[in-house]
Protein backbone atom coordinates (compact mmCIF):
# COMPACT_ATOMS: atom_id res chain seq x y z
CA UNK A 1 0.00 0.00 0.00
CA UNK A 2 1.63 3.22 -1.08
CA UNK A 3 0.39 6.76 -0.84
CA UNK A 4 3.49 8.16 -2.50
CA UNK A 5 1.87 8.90 -5.84
CA UNK A 6 -1.43 10.16 -4.52
CA UNK A 7 -2.32 13.82 -4.40
CA UNK A 8 -2.67 13.33 -0.66
CA UNK A 9 1.05 13.47 -0.19
CA UNK A 10 3.53 15.53 1.74
CA UNK A 11 3.47 18.19 -0.98
CA UNK A 12 -0.14 18.95 -0.07
CA UNK A 13 0.95 19.55 3.50
CA UNK A 14 4.01 21.47 2.30
CA UNK A 15 1.95 23.92 0.25
CA UNK A 16 -0.77 24.60 2.79
CA UNK A 17 -0.55 26.66 5.93
CA UNK A 18 -0.99 23.39 7.82
CA UNK A 19 2.69 22.62 7.30
CA UNK A 20 3.49 24.41 10.57
CA UNK A 21 0.27 23.59 12.45
CA UNK A 22 0.60 19.97 13.54
CA UNK A 23 -2.33 20.10 15.96
CA UNK A 24 -4.67 21.42 13.25
CA UNK A 25 -3.35 18.77 10.92
CA UNK A 26 -3.92 16.13 13.58
CA UNK A 27 -7.59 17.15 13.93
CA UNK A 28 -8.12 16.92 10.16
CA UNK A 29 -6.38 13.56 10.06
CA UNK A 30 -8.57 12.32 12.90
CA UNK A 31 -11.64 13.25 10.89
CA UNK A 32 -10.28 11.49 7.78
CA UNK A 33 -9.82 8.29 9.81
CA UNK A 34 -13.31 8.59 11.33
CA UNK A 35 -14.75 8.81 7.83
CA UNK A 36 -12.74 5.84 6.58
CA UNK A 37 -14.07 3.91 9.58
CA UNK A 38 -17.67 4.74 8.62
CA UNK A 39 -18.60 8.14 10.06
CA UNK A 40 -21.06 10.10 7.94
CA UNK A 41 -19.78 13.07 5.96
CA UNK A 42 -21.29 16.39 7.05
CA UNK A 43 -21.60 19.81 5.45
CA UNK A 44 -18.57 20.87 7.52
CA UNK A 45 -16.28 18.32 5.87
CA UNK A 46 -13.89 19.25 3.09
CA UNK A 47 -14.06 17.64 -0.38
CA UNK A 48 -11.26 15.22 0.47
CA UNK A 49 -13.44 13.85 3.27
CA UNK A 50 -16.19 13.11 0.76
CA UNK A 51 -13.65 11.41 -1.51
CA UNK A 52 -12.47 9.22 1.36
CA UNK A 53 -16.06 8.28 2.16
CA UNK A 54 -16.60 7.33 -1.48
CA UNK A 55 -13.37 5.36 -1.49
CA UNK A 56 -14.51 3.47 1.61
CA UNK A 57 -17.78 2.53 -0.07
CA UNK A 58 -16.01 1.31 -3.20
CA UNK A 59 -13.44 -0.69 -1.24
CA UNK A 60 -16.24 -2.44 0.64
CA UNK A 61 -17.98 -3.23 -2.67
CA UNK A 62 -14.85 -4.97 -3.99
CA UNK A 63 -13.02 -6.26 -0.92
CA UNK A 64 -13.52 -7.37 2.65
CA UNK A 65 -13.72 -5.31 5.83
CA UNK A 66 -10.38 -6.84 6.76
CA UNK A 67 -8.82 -5.36 3.61
CA UNK A 68 -10.32 -1.96 4.47
CA UNK A 69 -8.76 -2.22 7.93
CA UNK A 70 -5.34 -2.77 6.33
CA UNK A 71 -5.91 0.17 4.03
CA UNK A 72 -6.82 2.38 7.00
CA UNK A 73 -3.73 1.16 8.85
CA UNK A 74 -1.50 2.21 5.95
CA UNK A 75 -3.26 5.55 5.57
CA UNK A 76 -2.89 6.19 9.30
CA UNK A 77 0.87 5.60 9.01
CA UNK A 78 1.00 8.05 6.13
CA UNK A 79 -0.88 10.68 8.15
CA UNK A 80 1.47 10.18 11.08
CA UNK A 81 4.43 10.90 8.80
CA UNK A 82 2.77 14.16 7.72
CA UNK A 83 2.17 15.07 11.36
CA UNK A 84 5.83 14.43 12.20
CA UNK A 85 6.95 16.60 9.28
CA UNK A 86 4.70 19.43 10.50
CA UNK A 87 6.16 19.12 14.01
CA UNK A 88 9.66 19.38 12.59
CA UNK A 89 8.75 22.50 10.59
CA UNK A 90 7.11 24.11 13.61
CA UNK A 91 10.19 23.47 15.71
CA UNK A 92 12.53 24.58 12.92
CA UNK A 93 14.11 21.15 12.79
CA UNK A 94 15.70 19.92 9.62
CA UNK A 95 16.10 16.21 10.27
CA UNK A 96 19.24 14.40 9.22
CA UNK A 97 18.91 12.11 6.23
CA UNK A 98 18.42 8.96 8.31
CA UNK A 99 15.63 10.52 10.39
CA UNK A 100 13.93 11.99 7.34
CA UNK A 101 13.98 8.64 5.55
CA UNK A 102 12.51 7.00 8.66
CA UNK A 103 9.67 9.56 8.74
CA UNK A 104 9.02 9.28 5.03
CA UNK A 105 9.33 5.52 5.25
CA UNK A 106 6.46 5.51 7.72
CA UNK A 107 4.28 7.31 5.25
CA UNK A 108 5.07 5.97 1.78
CA UNK A 109 6.40 2.45 1.97
CA UNK A 110 4.54 -0.55 0.81
CA UNK A 111 4.74 -1.92 4.32
CA UNK A 112 1.10 -2.77 4.79
CA UNK A 113 0.83 -6.53 4.55
CA UNK A 114 -1.99 -8.09 2.64
CA UNK A 115 -4.37 -9.75 5.11
CA UNK A 116 -4.89 -12.82 2.89
CA UNK A 117 -5.20 -14.01 -0.67
CA UNK A 118 -8.91 -13.12 -0.95
CA UNK A 119 -7.99 -9.50 -0.39
CA UNK A 120 -5.92 -9.31 -3.56
CA UNK A 121 -8.69 -7.31 -5.18
CA UNK A 122 -7.91 -4.59 -7.66
CA UNK A 123 -10.01 -1.52 -7.00
CA UNK A 124 -11.66 0.14 -9.97
CA UNK A 125 -9.80 3.37 -9.29
CA UNK A 126 -6.65 3.91 -7.30
CA UNK A 127 -6.43 6.52 -4.59
CA UNK A 128 -4.45 8.87 -6.81
CA UNK A 129 -7.21 9.09 -9.41
CA UNK A 130 -10.05 10.00 -7.07
CA UNK A 131 -8.38 12.51 -4.81
**Which pLDDT belongs to residue 7?**
38
What's the half-sphere exposure (Cβ side, CA atoms, 13 Å) at 103?
Answer: 18
pLDDT level of residue 123 (50, 70, 90 thresholds)? very low
Q: Give the N- to C-terminal CA distance of the chain in Å, as an integer.
A: 16
Residues in CB range of 65: below 8 A, 6 or more apart? none
Report yes or no: 47 and 84 within 8 Å, Cβ to Cβ. no
pTM recorded for the entire structure:
0.68
Task: Please give the Cα distance from 29 to 118 (Å, whole number).
Answer: 29
User: Would you say residue 131 has pLDDT above 80?
Assistant: no
**Which pLDDT belongs to residue 124?**
35
Task: Please give the Cα distance from 8 to 78 (Å, whole number).
Answer: 9
Among the ranges given (11-15, 25-29, 127-131), the one the predictor scored with the smallest mean pLDDT = 127-131
What's the alpha-carbon Rg for the chain, to the nearest Å? Answer: 15
Task: Label residue 107 exposed, middle or buried (CB < 10 Å: 0-12, 13-18, 19+).
Answer: buried
Domain boundaries along the sequence of the chain:
10-118
User: Would you say residue 27 has pLDDT above 80?
Assistant: yes
Mean pLDDT of 53-69: 94
**Which pLDDT belongs to residue 80?**
87
Report yes or no: 32 and 49 within 8 Å, Cβ to Cβ. yes
CA distances from 91 to 9, 43, 47 (A): 21, 34, 30
**Which pLDDT belongs to residue 50?**
96
**Which pLDDT belongs to residue 37?**
97
Render pLDDT for 66-108 as a digit per residue (tens, 0 to 9).
999 999 998 998 888 888 888 888 899 888 888 887 777 655 5
Amino acid sequence: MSFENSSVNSEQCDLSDLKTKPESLKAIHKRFLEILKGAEVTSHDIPLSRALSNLRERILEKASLKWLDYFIYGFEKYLYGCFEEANNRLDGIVPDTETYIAIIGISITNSVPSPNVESQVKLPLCLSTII
